[in-house]
Every structure is written in C-alpha cells, then in structure tokens.
Structure 1
Amino acid sequence: MMELIDYPKYNEKLFVQTLSNGLTVYLQPKPGFNKTTAVLGVNYGSIDSEFMLNGEKVIQPAGIAHFLEHKMFDKKDYDVFELFNKTGARSNAFTSFTKTNYLFSTAESVKANLDILLDFVQIPYFTQAKVEREKGIIDQEINMYQNDPDNQAYFKMIASLYPESVLANDIAGDIQTVAQITLEDVELAYRTFYRPENMSLFITGKLDPNEVMGWIEENQRQKSTQDPIRLQRLLTLPVASKETILHTEMDVSRPKITLGLRGRDPVLTGRAGLKYEIAISVMFDLFLSENSVEYDKLYHDEIIDDSFSWEFENERGFHFAVINGDTDKPLELVKRLKEIIAAIPAKIGDLQTEFQLQKNELFGNYIEMMDSEEAISGQFDGFIGEPVTIYDEVEILKSLTLADVLDVAKRFLSQATIQEVMIQNPNR
C-alpha cells in the first residue's frame, strides 16, 4: 500500500512504498511534464571501505565503490549504455563519499528503461577478466584527474582536513589501491551493500503512480530474495594535529588557493540536518557571494576574480566547507579569508536586510528547479532517516531566521579546524 506525502502549497504529491524485499520506492508525478527521470540510489560510497560484516572486520581497497559502479555497466555480452540508447534514454551514474546513484531520463519507453535500470544494477556479472580489464580504464581516469588542478586542490584539501582516514583517499582511489582490487572484493562489496533494503528508487516527471508501482513490483518479484546480514559501518576520522599549508606544484597559469573548514560540531540527520546545511549555506552567501560587501572588496582589490567559489558538504558522519579561487595574491587572499571568517559571528546579526535578500534569491532558485525533473531528483535524499524533497527544503528556507543562521554559524565556526592548499607553477 502506497503512503501519500502531500505538499498542498505546491500542488505536489509524493507516493512512498517499501516493497517486501526492502526496496523503498518514491514516485512524484509531474502533470504536464513530457520526460521521466529515475534514480536508483545505493547507500554506499567511498567512505564505506571498512565495515563489520556478521561480526568480522572487513577492510577493502580505496576506490572500490567507484570501481563497482563502473563494473555494473559491463555485462557478459552487452553494454548497458547501448540498451538505454536504443530506448531513447540518457543514462549516467556517479559515486560520492556516501552514495552511488544510477539514473536515466527519457521521454518514451519508461517501463523498458525502468526494467533496464533495475536489472543491470540488481543482476551483476563479474569475472576475473572483466575486473582486470576495468583496472586499466580506471587508471586512465585517475591519471586524467591527477592532471586537473581543481580536482587535486579539492581532494588534497580533504586529505589535509581528514588525515589518515578513508576521506584522505580520492573517491576513485589511486593506481596502487585499484591494482589491489580483486574479483572477491567486488563480489563481497556487492553482496554487502547492493541489497534492496540499502537502496531507494526515486522517479519523477510524467508517470502514473499506480501503473509505475505495478511495473516495479512485477520486476522485483522476479528477483531472488537475499539472506539477512549484520552490517556495521566503520568511520574513524582523526583530527589534524595543526593547521598547515600544503604547497603543490602544477602547470597552472595562476596560483590556486583552497581553504578548508572541517566541522566538528554534532549535526542531526533528516530535516534538522538539512536546516543546518541551509543555514551554513546562507551564512557563506552573506559573506562570500557576489552580493556581499566582503566579496566586493576582495574583487576590487584584485585579490579574487570570477573563479572564486565555495561549497559545503554535509554527509553521513562528517561535514566541511571548501573555499577556493585563482589569485595573483595567494597569501593575501588566505589572510583576508581568515579575517572574514573570524568576524562572521560578530557581524552576522547586523545583516537582516541582506539576509532577507539572500533568502529571496535562494527561494527563486528553488522555484526554478521545481520545473526540472533532473533538479528535483538531484535534490531528493532518501537516506537520511526521512525522505527529503525540494519542497521540504523550501519550507525550511522560508522558516529560517537570522537567529537560526547565527546559532549554526557559532556552532560550526567555534569548533572548525582550518587547512590550506596552495597550487603554484614553479616556472612562474
């Protein structure tokens, strides 16, 4: 029986059902839309390489979640992308720190594409030869990213924030760890994490909930049941001993500065965690967006340009902010950024007008995203204790006060640790 979550303010409905095998399905019909987007998510990412399985500790090579994502597309006698192409769908997949998502978007043959999606993820085909072949492909991908200064700055920063931990590894691992992956590793990772109860299916766009749920139930009845397991994820995150500046030499036209702030304050899950994330985002926008006084000063002092940006990650078990940009004055930029960050708690209470303007701008961005099934599916999260949609985010934003932002800012900044990465060209 499907449960209905109603969003009357937006004239939207979310249908939810957990099937007998544990797979949770979320269906959001969008009348008037011509396309349908489906995302099959696995609650499994790069940080899940260490875990307790049925009482025994397992340590797998870094990059195995990303490796497994690649392997899912390579079947015995066909390539999954070719199947999607034949049905007129665009397909993709990605692995993050905590999730692996498989998705398609189509304007036709929804049932056929849905069967392809569910079957290729839930019916694996692994061989020793294919595992060895994939290593060379991923090595090429890793080499490509190692030559990308922005990618290197990002992951070196995270490694500085979380030394000697799984977060210190690139999501794809490195050439040495990928070489260690065996067929047995892949099969064990799949059996452990690619289980219906550890997955969610979100579909939005042109769809009839009863019809689509019927298709999914029919597909899942054809899959064999799995024996229960006892799984405990292990995540140990030592604290960096002191603030450091990591200097790296690469072929860049201008120095790149990346400043990382590791949050050490506890963050709740579900909508409470989402409120925290939105509050932090508003805080950074008030001081580092193009509309802020601080940004304007940095720009007119020729310390930053339009490469300057920031982002905030709030994931299962950790959260951090990264600020980066190209600059001809790297030391000055670091100095000014630290001064801005240190002054936030004292200044933020005087920014009521700016706060309201920022809220209005974010609200407009959300309204725009509501017209895109890709954006709607990208904002959905079914792995944080309760389903969170773009409509939940808007309601949280609307009720957010400047006092809320100040409270979260103080909690985050009072305990955050800072690390720096500087990438320069040795020949310039």
Structure 2
Amino acid sequence: MQTINYPIYGEKLLVSQLNNGLMVYIQPKPGFNKTTAVLGVNYGSIDRSFQLGNQTIIQPAGIAHFLEHKMFDKKDYDVFELFNQTGAASNAYTSFTNTNYLFSTTEAFKENLMILLDFVQTPYFTAAKVEREKGIIDQEINMYQNNPDNQAYFKTVNALYPASPLSSDIAGTISTVNQIRLKDIELAYQTFYRPDNMSLFITGKVDPQETLDWISENQQAKSWGSQPSVSRQLDLSQDQPENRHFVNMTVSRPKTMIGIRGNDSVPTGRLGLKYEIALSLMFDLFFSENADEYDKLYHDEIIDDSFSWEFENERGFHFALLGGDTDHPDEFINRIRTIIEQIPEIVKRKSTDFALQKKEQLGNYIQMMDSQEAISSQFDGFLGSPLTIYDEVAILNELTFQDVVQITQSFLNKASFQEVIIGNTKSRG
C-alpha cells in the first residue's frame, strides 16, 4: 500500500489498486468508534450516451438512478435488511456524474463491508423486477415534481443546459423511466459497474492491512469478462439566449433562482479543486451573511434566511445557483444580477474581506475533520490522484487573493445566465 501522509493533522491515507483495477483508499481514525465505507461508481445521470466499441449507445434518462434502486433488490432478500440485521446504517445516491453506495457501523465491520461489495458487484435483474420498479420510481418522480425546491433546482439546470443530459432530472421522467428495459439495465451495469470504474473509501476504526486483505480476498473470488472500450459522449454545445422562466406551483411564497453557467475552461484534478475553492470564496465575499451586499439585500427584505448559493464543478461542466424565497422575485433577480455584473471589478477591492473569509473557511474545514460523514463526502477518488479534505485545506491555505480575482473574472466574463420563478406568475413583485 502507498501511504500519503498529512503530518500537520496527524492523518494518513493508504492507497492500493487491486489487480482488477479497484482503487481502495483507507483512512484509519483510531480514536473513532464508527467506521464508514463508500463504494463509488464513476457513472451518473449524464452518462446515458456513450460509444461502446464501434457502437453508439443512447439510453433513457434516469437509467443510472434506476440501476441504483435495482441493486438493492435481490432474488430472495432485500439488501437494507442485511445491513439492518448487523446494526449498520446504509444508503445510496445518484448524482450527475457518480453513484455512491455507503454504510456506517460501530460493529461487525467486516460483515458489512462484504455485504457492500457483494450486493453492488453481484447483480440480480429480471424483466419482472424491472417493470415493478417503474411504479416505485414513478411515485418518487411525482414527489419531486411536487417539491418546489426540487423544481427550482432542476428547472434552472434545464434552462442552463437545454437539449443535453443535464436538462433531465437525475431520476428522469415518468415517460423515460417507462422506456427502460431489462437489456438497458444489463448493458449499463456491464459497461460501468466494473472494478476499474469504482473506488472504495473507508474511514474509521480499522486495521488497514487486515481490511485490505479482506477486500483482496473478496475481489479475487469474482471475475469480470472483457469488453470493448467505452467513450462517454456529453454534448453541451447548445446554449440558449438568456430568459426568465415561470413555473406555476402552489407555494406560500415565490421561489426564485438565478443560474450561472460556466463557459470557461476548467482544469481537472488539484487545479480544478483550486478553481472550485476560489469561486466558493468569491460567492461568500458577496453572498454570505457577513457580506455587505447580503446585508443590504436582507434589510431591504429582498432576501431572507432561505437564501443560499451553491457551486457545482463536475466532470465536463460547472455552474452556480443562487436562490431563495422572496415576495419580490423580479426585484430579487434584478438586484442580484446587478451585484453579479459588478463582481469582476468590485472583487478587486475585497482583499481585507478575503483574508477574513479565508480564515472562516479554514475554521469550517477544521470542524469537518471530526466528522466521518464530512470526510467521506469531501473525498474524490476519480480525479487521477485522490483528493481529501486535507488537500482542500492545503489548497485553501495556498490560495491568494489574486487567484480569486483571476478565477472570478475567468468564470463570470464568459458566463451565461438563466432565471426561474416558482409560484403564481400573476402576482410577481
């Protein structure tokens, strides 16, 4: 095993690639009683168009999420019940680019680890079970469609990336889910659920060598056939003119969201993480509760405590969203858009605020280091070299004010915008 040391924090990450290609990352935490494991698959909702050998494959929207559901449904048992019997808490989720399966436990760690590896790597699909699952997912989609926050998010992303896999909800639509067949599920699994397209991250009370031996033995007992080369296809070239979109829903107050699509080039790996951290700092400089701009919007009753922002930097795309509840959606949009348009110039005068905001972010990171959930969620094993929460702190420490200014200008000078209002469009303020 390779050891990556983080001496400042007294931490280490042990890394090993097994013969079948599975990347294993183990971060021992001797003072902890709980152990958490995350088995990640480098496959998400946008990966439904790909080249398999000389064949072009286009699959229905929502298939990655559908496959996640099906992994828990075995021939004569339910995987959640296995975890429950050992006292472990388990879960799974699908994002635009990844699918993650995880558990945490204070006991029977080896047994739970074997359950995790076996249920993800031993599929059981039948046509009858696929058809039955459609009704379950249809209910989930209906629930999402009746959730104003969910609709605000996906309507905005849809507007930013029209006619692309990003324009669909991660779960798909009832129509696309009903198009999924057994052969689609089997092909998606065979193509992407391979050890060389997975990573296993473990943190907690573990013996690294003993744990790696368990994993190696488990993997040696399994075999995967060869397959043609896979090339993912993601066309995001279409960018529609800026528009304001209205969605009628029954809400107590309108929900308003501004989407900012990044059209500049973003590096991968450590430099990509630097880009992400720099923009996070920039948004905090203008839209955190400590910012003058936020304070003015708040006291003018344009925003309230529901206001938030987020920045997503994923494989092949990046965007920012700013939104919240407001009684004055048109003014909300106009005021925030005015601030954003001025940011490339005003940010140059925020050096003092930058130093303070940087210290606050460092404090947040230090606090997260005591949380296994935070450590696990911050880890990324699909960027060529593993990036941990400790790497994020190192990048933040090295980040200069000029870095933030340059990256901010790169992002905003080429960005495009979309706006979404959820509510009664006849009573806009």
TM (normalized to structure 2)? 0.98
Q: One-letter code of the match for 2:386? A: P
Q: One-letter code of the match for 1:375? A: A
CA shift digits 1:53-106 (9 cap, x unpaired): 012100000000000000000000000000000011000000000000000000
Aligned to 1:234: 233
CA shift digits 1:187-208 (9 cap, x unpaired): 0000000000000000001001
Aligned to 1:165: 164
**1:427 to partner: Cα distance:** 7.8
Aligned to 1:254: 253
Instruction: Indicate if the aligned counterparts of 1:49 and 1:166 stay in contact, CA closer than 8 A.
Output: yes
Ranges of 4+ aligned residues in structure 1 off by more than 2 Å: 238-241, 425-428
Distance (whole Å) between structure 2 residues aligned to residue 266 and residue 384 of structure 1: 16
- Is 1:303 the counterpart of 2:308 in the alignment? no
- In the alignment of these two chains, the number of paired residues is 427
Three-state SS of the structure 1 residue aligned to 2:8 is helix
Q: One-letter code of the match for 1:295? A: Y
Instruction: Indicate if the aligned counterparts of 2:145 and 2:151 stay in contact, CA closer than 8 A.
Output: yes
1:157 to 1:226, Cα distance in 2 relative to 1, 3 A: same
Aligned to 2:198: 199
Structural mapping, 1:311-322, within 5 Å: 311-322=310-321
- Is 1:223 the counterpart of 2:229 in the alignment? no
Aligned to 1:115: 114
Distance (whole Å) between structure 1 residues aligned to residue 139 and residue 336 of structure 2: 36
Q: One-letter code of the match for 2:413? A: S
Instruction: Indicate if the aligned counterparts of 2:313 and 2:319 stay in contact, CA closer than 8 A.
Output: yes
Aligned to 1:78: 77
**1:426 to partner: Cα distance:** 5.6
Q: One-letter code of the match for 1:176? A: S
Aligned to 2:291: 292
Instruction: Indicate if the aligned counterparts of 2:266 and 2:275 stay in contact, CA closer than 8 A.
Output: yes
Q: One-letter code of the match for 1:229? A: P
Structural mapping, 1:373-392, within 5 Å: 373-392=372-391
Instruction: Indicate if the aligned counterparts of 1:53 and 1:231 stay in contact, CA closer than 8 A.
Output: yes
How much identity, in percent, do the aligned residues show? 67
Three-state SS of the structure 1 residue aligned to 2:260 is strand
Distance (whole Å) between structure 1 residues aligned to residue 59 and residue 244 of structure 2: 30
Three-state SS of the structure 1 residue aligned to 2:247 is strand
**1:416 to partner: Cα distance:** 0.3
Q: One-letter code of the match for 2:143? A: M
Distance (whole Å) between structure 1 residues aligned to residue 347 and residue 413 of structure 2: 14
Instruction: Indicate if the aligned counterparts of 2:38 and 2:200 stay in contact, CA closer than 8 A.
Output: yes
Structural mapping, 1:27-66, within 5 Å: 27-66=26-65
**1:240 to partner: Cα distance:** 2.5
Distance (whole Å) between structure 2 residues aligned to residue 113 and residue 298 of structure 1: 49
Aligned to 1:13: 12
Q: One-letter code of the match for 1:201? A: L
Distance (whole Å) between structure 1 residues aligned to residue 255 and residue 314 of structure 2: 26
Gaps of at least 5 residues in structure 1 are: none
* CA RMSD after TM alignment: 0.9
Three-state SS of the structure 1 residue aligned to 2:303 is coil
Distance (whole Å) between structure 2 residues aligned to residue 49 and residue 411 of structure 1: 30
Distance (whole Å) between structure 2 residues aligned to residue 397 and residue 171 of structure 1: 31
Distance (whole Å) between structure 2 residues aligned to residue 62 and residue 288 of structure 1: 34
Aligned to 1:425: 424
**1:332 to partner: Cα distance:** 0.8
Q: One-letter code of the match for 1:96? A: S
Three-state SS of the structure 2 residue aligned to 1:227 is coil
Aligned to 1:359: 358
**1:423 to partner: Cα distance:** 1.1
Aligned to 1:208: 207
**1:230 to partner: Cα distance:** 0.3
Distance (whole Å) between structure 1 residues aligned to residue 398 and residue 335 of structure 2: 32
Three-state SS of the structure 2 residue aligned to 1:9 is coil
Instruction: Indicate if the aligned counterparts of 2:246 and 2:425 stay in contact, CA closer than 8 A.
Output: no
- Is 1:126 the counterpart of 2:125 in the alignment? yes
Structural mapping, 1:117-156, within 5 Å: 117-156=116-155
Distance (whole Å) between structure 1 residues aligned to residue 426 and residue 234 of structure 2: 41
Gaps of at least 5 residues in structure 2 are: none
CA shift digits 1:288-319 (9 cap, x unpaired): 11100000000000110000000000000000
Q: One-letter code of the match for 1:165? A: S
- Is 1:91 the counterpart of 2:90 in the alignment? yes
Distance (whole Å) between structure 2 residues aligned to residue 360 and residue 157 of structure 1: 32
Three-state SS of the structure 2 residue aligned to 1:253 is coil
Q: One-letter code of the match for 1:360? A: K
CA shift digits 1:319-368 (9 cap, x unpaired): 00000011111111111111110111111121122111111111111111
Distance (whole Å) between structure 2 residues aligned to residue 413 and residue 146 of structure 1: 31
CA shift digits 1:364-413 (9 cap, x unpaired): 11111111111101100001121100000000001111100000000000
TM (normalized to structure 1)? 0.99
**1:239 to partner: Cα distance:** 3.0
Distance (whole Å) between structure 1 residues aligned to residue 96 and residue 284 of structure 2: 24
Instruction: Indicate if the aligned counterparts of 2:86 and 2:107 stay in contact, CA closer than 8 A.
Output: yes
Distance (whole Å) between structure 2 residues aligned to residue 151 and residue 174 of structure 1: 14
